[in-house]
Structure 1
């Protein structure tokens, strides 16, 4: 097999055949997609774009601004703990909404690769994707920041309590679950049912993923768009979503917990 054969196999995925929808069902599914993403990650994308435009209108350059992902939400530690868990619960509920709608459509978890048939291979896939995305992603972030195209991203600004690390792990897993179920499993499966080509569907999914990270700057948007292209194509080729959820969770755990434990120790993690 030549390199050209590998490239063709990667860029021309053979998605499973799906039953064509009638015109009424197509309209309902399109409406469903608009509603779901209007109250979840699509709305986050709009807010993120507004945040970026506001930052660009400020006299303070992007590379001199900081952006925190997880930060303190209440003065009282117990109230803060409750607020953090509530935020994670919302993300878990978003993912469950996408999964529920798939079940209502007759698909279910197995259709998007959320079953337990291959735990070992899924775990290895998650570790491999973590390395594939994590190292280049850090390099892209540092390059964008050096070029003045990104804010300084601080994954965690939570105060240090006994619950800080467990809450960050929960937050990482909740982010991974919501994003991968909605932006990959639910969205790409729905676009397949609508007859959208695999490459076009992949582009839509990746642009959506990049959009709700624009609050970090252009580097955050571009980095997550590229991550979306890789993750979406892996799902289109394998039909397995657990490796994506696992890799995303590992990446966020490393970023969130590492930021909390090493704050000020590394040049790109300010105190």
Structure 2
């Protein structure tokens, strides 16, 4: 059995190091690693476009069939649901490897702190992280855009339908669960099982997080690397993913819903 990292409490494993690392590459390949590849191609396209980066707009949460709202809702919900499949895959792999020590994907989720055992503490911790990251993150985005290092972000581009805000909230929660369970709960466990140091794990996860946000511009890359470092450090202190999910969901809800409600009223957005 491989010896885990001394700074992270991880699930037991009988898998060899090469298998552990191959598995993480494959999980990333069907989830956020694939997003990183598309993000790199997107920033290359934007950098080679005739307009400067700061004059371009990156649109998120767009309508697919704006002329048929019922079908558009189906597209939005399908996208949110399918994006969570890698989360179930990651937890399934952890549970299958750990065997009786966790018993199921639910047990694996509990082992990485993705559960409801400590709702009050997790919410308070998440709120603190959101305050520490959200406002500085907005200021950094605005500065990067003014310096020509980032595109303008249109965080929500859904039609004015009754389900727009609920879908944006669900999309925010989906982003939070996918990124924090996979990038922190799963990868930190597997890389620690493979013998990586805690510092290497935190840095590697943060760099991947920044890369799949680079489609926004270099400000998006740097800002998300910093966020990844903070969240990685926080996880090593608490061993719980849920506060990170709370933080991420809150930040995205404010960004997505706030943009949808205020974009026409506030010019600097």
| TM-score computed with the length of structure 1 as normaliser | 0.90
Matches within 5 A, 1:101-250: 101-106=93-98, 107=102, 108-250=108-250
Shift of the alpha carbon at 1:209? 0.5
Shift of the alpha carbon at 1:18? 6.1
Contact kept? 2:62, 2:157, Cα under 8 Å: yes
Describe the SS at the equivalent of 1:153. Answer: strand
1:77 maps to which of 69, 75, 81? 69
Structure 2 unaligned regions, length at least 5 = 1-5, 103-107
Distance 1:17 1:79, change over 3 A: closer
After superposing on structure 2, the runs of 4+ consecutive aligned residues of structure 1 that deviate more than 3 Å are: none
Cross-structure match for 2:29: 38
**2:86 aligned with 1:89:** no
Describe the SS at the equivalent of 2:232. Answer: helix
Counterpart CA distance in 2 for 1:223 and 1:141 is 8
Distance 1:165 1:85, change over 3 A: same
Contact kept? 1:91, 1:177, Cα under 8 Å: no
Counterpart CA distance in 2 for 1:101 and 1:264 is 45
1:51 maps to which of 38, 42, 50? 42
**2:7 aligned with 1:14:** yes
Shift of the alpha carbon at 1:94? 1.9
Distance 1:65 1:26, change over 3 A: same
Cross-structure match for 1:256: 256
Could you say what the CA RMSD is over the residues aligned between the two structures, in angstroms?
A: 1.4
Deviations 1:91-132 (A, max 9, x none): 222222212212112251222111332111001011111101
Describe the SS at the equivalent of 1:67. Answer: strand
Contact kept? 2:54, 2:150, Cα under 8 Å: yes
Describe the SS at the equivalent of 1:162. Answer: coil
1:28 maps to which of 13, 19, 23? 19
Counterpart CA distance in 2 for 1:154 and 1:191 is 35
Counterpart CA distance in 1 for 2:247 and 2:253 is 10
